[in-house]
């Protein structure tokens, strides 16, 4: 299967994340699965006229296109022309190329939240009028209409994340190569369920603090960050703490709150990322399936039962009180 990877309006962070794939590296992994990277702007040797000629062969149907990967949002400005972002050397905008190539592809994959929903590229006043491939924020219909389906029958597959986990990208491509990714394997926002059926909260190293509502008050502290520091890991889609980056890293493991970067419009929460908005003292960012009255009752009981070890460690920058060794019986 042939893959064409184009970078649109974004920072290139998803490619940088993809290059962190290890054992094996991403190119070896794809090759072993029979996936051939026709062209990637950062990884391929072909440039200039060679790359332009390849694009022409794909557009004419001479070179088959099995998977079209787009990284970054697509700029539609000014006034719907897309000429804020031209694909160098071709005389055509990225918007024009996308609309020409997407119907030819067996599958279309949006790599990262910018390509999926607009992401950071569309934040603020969005002067370039950027949007995701098939979503504009949380609303269906971005660059491509909601009813768009690639040749194999799937909508745009949104491998959302900022940046997206390298394994999410590689696993999606491997499933497509094996013919094992169907409509039922995508969630309501067309994100692959193998990671979208998990929450960032699952496997978080701060879960014991969460259970007792032992909260951090500053970023350098060890406690749960939901109550005061804006963490929304209990609502955010992703298995980041089940299979962390390079086997060890995630936002919450590094002491930073989850900002739900796999979700539409995460980039504009209308408050500081490290601030938990509250109403009558109740955090707004509760799990979506938890009634507020239950949370208040649970929080009161949990705080009353919090072991001193957790109370002290929650507001420390390192473990100050170790778990007590279990005493032998008799």
**Known binding site for [3Fe-4S] cluster: residues?**
240, 258, 261
Report yes or no: 221 and 315 within 8 Å, Cβ to Cβ. Answer: yes
- Residues paired with residue 81 on neighbouring β-strands, in sequence order: none
Q: How many CB atoms lie within 10 A of CB 105?
A: 22
User: Within its chain, how far is the Cα of 80 from the centroid?
Assistant: 27
Q: At residue 222, what are phi and psi to the nearest 5 degrees?
A: -90, -15
Helix/strand/coil (H/E/C) assignment for every residue in 137-170: CCEECCCCCCCCCCCCCCCCEEECCCCCCHHHHH
The two three-digit tokens of residue 101, written as one number: 């190539």
* DSSP string for residues in 178-226: TT---GGGB-TTS-BHHHHTSBTTTT-TTHHHHHTT-B-SSTTS-SBST
Q: How far is CA 38 from CA 46, 63, 205, 315, in A?
A: 10, 9, 40, 51
Binding site members for [4Fe-4S] cluster: 11, 14, 114, 162, 201, 204, 224, 231
Query: Measured between alpha carbons, how far apart are the two ends of the chain, in Å?
Result: 67
Binding site members: 11, 14, 114, 162, 201, 204, 224, 231, 240, 258, 261
| Nearest-angstrom CA–CA distance, 218 and 240 | 22
Q: H helices within the chain, ranges in order?
A: 13-18, 26-32, 49-60, 94-101, 113-117, 166-177, 193-196, 207-211, 292-304, 308-314
| Nearest-angstrom CA–CA distance, 68 and 48 | 20
């Amino acid at each position: 299967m042939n893959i064409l990877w184009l970078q649109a309006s974004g920072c290139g962070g998803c490619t940088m994340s993809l290059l962190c794939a290890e054992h094996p590296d991403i190119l070896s992994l794809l090759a072993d699965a029979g996936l051939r990277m026709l062209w990637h702007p950062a990884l391929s040797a072909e440039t200039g006229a060679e790359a332009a000629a390849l694009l022409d062969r794909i557009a004419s149907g001479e070179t088959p296109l099995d998977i079209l990967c787009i990284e970054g949002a697509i700029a539609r400005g000014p006034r719907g022309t897309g000429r804020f972002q031209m694909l160098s050397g071709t005389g055509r905008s990225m918007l024009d190329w996308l609309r020409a190539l997407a119907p030819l592809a067996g599958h279309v994959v949006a790599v990262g939240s910018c390509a999926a929903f607009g992401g950071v590229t569309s934040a603020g006043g969005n002067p370039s009028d950027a949007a995701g491939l098939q979503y504009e924020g949380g609303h269906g219909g971005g660059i491509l209409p909601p009813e768009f389906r690639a040749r194999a029958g799937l909508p745009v597959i949104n491998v959302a994340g900022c940046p997206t986990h390298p394994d999410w990208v590689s696993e999606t491509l491997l499933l497509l190569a094996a013919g094992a990714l169907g409509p039922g394997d995508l969630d309501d926002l067309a994100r692959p369920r193998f990671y979208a059926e998990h929450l960032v909260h699952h496997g978080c190293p701060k879960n014991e603090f969460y259970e007792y509502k032992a909260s951090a008050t500053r970023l350098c502290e060890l406690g749960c960050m939901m109550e005061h520091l804006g963490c929304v890991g209990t609502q955010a889609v992703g298995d980041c703490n089940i299979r962390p980056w390079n086997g060890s890293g995630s936002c919450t493991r590094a002491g930073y709150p989850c900002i739900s970067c796999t979700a539409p419009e995460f980039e504009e929460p209308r408050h500081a990322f490290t601030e938990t908005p509250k109403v009558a003292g109740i955090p707004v960012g509760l799990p979506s399936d938890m009634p507020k009255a239950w949370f208040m009752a649970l929080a009161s009981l949990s705080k009353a039962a919090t072991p001193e070890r957790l109370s002290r460690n929650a507001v420390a920058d390192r473990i100050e009180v170790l778990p007590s060794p279990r005493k032998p019986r008799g």
